[in-house]
Every structure is written in C-alpha cells, then in structure tokens.
Structure 1
C-alpha cells in the first residue's frame, strides 16, 4: 500500500492534547492520528468497515454447517 505525506498545522493546545493521548495509548502521534482518521471515515461511511468479512471474522462467533446450527436452535426451543 502506498503512503502519502500530509502536513497539518495545529495549534499548541491541540498538540498538547494529541501528545498526551498518544502517550496514554502507548503509540506515536502519527499512529494515533491515522487511527483517528480511519475511525472517523468509518463512522461517516455508516460504520461499514473496509473489509466486512474480516470484521465478521474478528467476532470469533461460533460457526457450523447451517443444518447443524438450525437443528441446535430448534433443539434449544423445545
């Protein structure tokens, strides 16, 4: 993936808050800003992650053959 440089001028008070936030997160200011931008972009896109299948996989939800799952659900309703 290509990387691009972006220079953003911010006032001193915001720089202080950014430095403290990055320190709390134990990360660099750049990494903190990149993550904040990514989170904001996801919110503005309706919360749709870049890769919906990867997001589902991260849930670590139980999986099985659909017929087995339906049988288990039906058995639990009895």
Structure 2
C-alpha cells in the first residue's frame, strides 16, 4: 500500500505584509500580552485575529513568549 502525501495543514492567517506589521508591533511592545499584540495589529491595519492565531503567528516568526525566571540560580555548590 502506497503512503499518502502529507497535508501541509491550514494556511497562516498572515501574509508577508501582515508578518511585517506583526514584527513591528512586537518590536514596539516586546512584553505585550497576546491580546495586546492582537489589538496593536488591528490598530496598525492588520487583520483581526483570535488569540490562538496571534500566538501561532508569533511562534512561527520566532518570537518566543516564555518569560525568563526572575530569580538568580542557587549559589550553593551541590554535594557530589
């Protein structure tokens, strides 16, 4: 039995121009929430996107949203 061809999945909600608008919004407010990014995208002339679509576009563009830990690492040496 022959293997079926892979389906690429749904098309992204943003085209190349939309990606540029989103990158500008991310650069202007790098610590914004997904809802704030979606609102900034809409104000900048981009499409209205649900929070999940904004998250997928942000991840696709390589802008990870995970915040870094605010506490320093433990300075106590571990017993080996």
Is TM-score (shorter-chain normalized) higher than 0.5?
Answer: no
Normalised by the length of structure 1, the TM-score is: 0.29
Larger radius of gyration: 1
Query: Greater helix share, 1 or 2?
Result: 1
Normalised by the length of structure 2, the TM-score is: 0.28
